[in-house]
């Protein structure tokens, strides 16, 4: 499965890569902000996206809105420090399928990935 | 400063270090920082805007910072490694984000982090701000969290 990791922190992308690799995902692409991600989705064609919210140049929420408006249908999990309920609602309205609040354990991220993919497969 | 502004940071520090570094933290009593004193060597800084305005500084001695980054990233990175500052920035990002989520009913934004590496530097905020220093200790050493806020007239409620 092809997974796009969108986060301005290389540390966070590396942590996510480690968890995804243990889950058996080996086709991983990285983007350092929303603009970078937009430039990569057409060619990489991800089947799952993990997206941070607060990033320079283009934030994650704006990216998700643009990705959806351009016809992107793959599941998106927002992985962010933005934990307020109003933010979660805003993200879901923008087209986010699931939500992980930083800090997170490997088990939490793994569980959210599995439940997101299961949910989308059943839809 | 009303404790309602500081309590969220105390909880967030412990949560971030225990979740991402598997490291329990002893959080000391917050004190008012009335005059500049020599700081530590590595500082991660986040700005807060909106209903709560100010800065959050996570400040470490170099040895503590390097051990924290090793636990966080799973790699040994010296303070002059290009990825070291990124890891410190992400730690302060998570501490600030976790605290701001507890300012119930307040619309608060946080900036992307800035990291300073340099021996015994000071971080100065706006003069109008009040700074609270929260001393922390853990198995890898000591560090400080400094919360500087422009105080509004009413304290937030926390959940």
Chain A partners of B20 at a C-beta cutoff of 8 Å?
103
For the stretch B38-64, pLDDT in tens is: 679 999 999 999 998 999 999 999 999
Instruction: Count the domains in chain A.
Output: 1
Instruction: Count the domains in chain B.
Output: 1
| Structural domain contains residue B136 | yes
Could you tell me the CATH number of the domain that includes residue B131?
3.40.1550.10
Q: To probe the interface with A, which of B97, B99, B102, B109 has the most A CB atoms within 10 Å?
A: B97
For the stretch B1-39, pLDDT in tens is: 677 888 999 999 999 999 999 999 999 999 998 776 667
CA distance linking residue B126 with residue B124, whole number of Å? 7
B6 has a chain A CB within 8 A of its CB: no
Other beta carbons within 10 angstroms of residue A70's beta carbon come to: 10
How close, in Å, is residue A67 to chain B by CA atoms? Answer: 23
The whole-model pTM stands at: 0.91
Chain A partners of B96 at a C-beta cutoff of 8 Å?
81
Domain residues for the domain of B127 are 3-154
CA distance linking residue A90 with residue B17, whole number of Å? 28
Q: What's the ipTM?
A: 0.90
How close, in Å, is residue A18 to chain B by CA atoms? Answer: 10
Domain residues for the domain of A8 are 2-122
Other beta carbons within 10 angstroms of residue A65's beta carbon come to: 15
């Amino acid at each position: 499965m092809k997974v796009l990791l969108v986060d301005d922190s290389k540390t966070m992308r590396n942590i996510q890569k480690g968890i995804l690799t243990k889950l058996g995902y080996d086709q991983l692409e990285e983007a350092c902000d929303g603009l970078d991600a937009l430039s990569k989705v057409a060619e990489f064609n991800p089947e799952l996206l993990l997206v941070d919210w607060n990033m320079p140049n283009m934030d994650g929420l704006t990216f998700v809105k643009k990705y959806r408006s351009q016809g992107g249908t793959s599941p998106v999990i927002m992985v962010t420090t933005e934990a307020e309920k109003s933010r979660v609602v805003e993200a879901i309205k923008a087209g986010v399928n699931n939500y992980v609040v930083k800090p997170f354990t490997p088990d939490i991220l793994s569980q959210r990935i599995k439940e997101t993919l299961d949910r989308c497969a059943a839809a | 400063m009303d404790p309602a502004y500081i309590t969220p940071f105390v909880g967030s520090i412990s949560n971030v270090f225990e979740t991402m570094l598997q490291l329990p933290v002893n959080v000391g009593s917050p004190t008012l920082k009335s005059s500049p004193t020599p700081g530590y060597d590595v500082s991660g800084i986040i700005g807060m805007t909106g209903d709560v305005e100010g800065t959050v500084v996570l400040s470490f001695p170099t040895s503590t910072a390097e051990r924290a980054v090793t636990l966080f990233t799973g790699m040994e990175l010296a303070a002059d490694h290009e990825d070291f500052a990124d890891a410190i920035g992400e730690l302060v990002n998570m501490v600030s984000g976790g605290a701001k989520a507890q300012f119930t009913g307040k619309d608060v934004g946080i900036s992307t982090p800035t990291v300073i590496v340099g021996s015994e530097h000071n971080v100065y905020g706006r003069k109008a701000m009040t700074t609270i220093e929260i001393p922390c200790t853990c198995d890898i050493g000591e560090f400080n969290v400094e919360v500087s806020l422009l105080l509004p007239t009413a304290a937030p409620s926390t959940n």
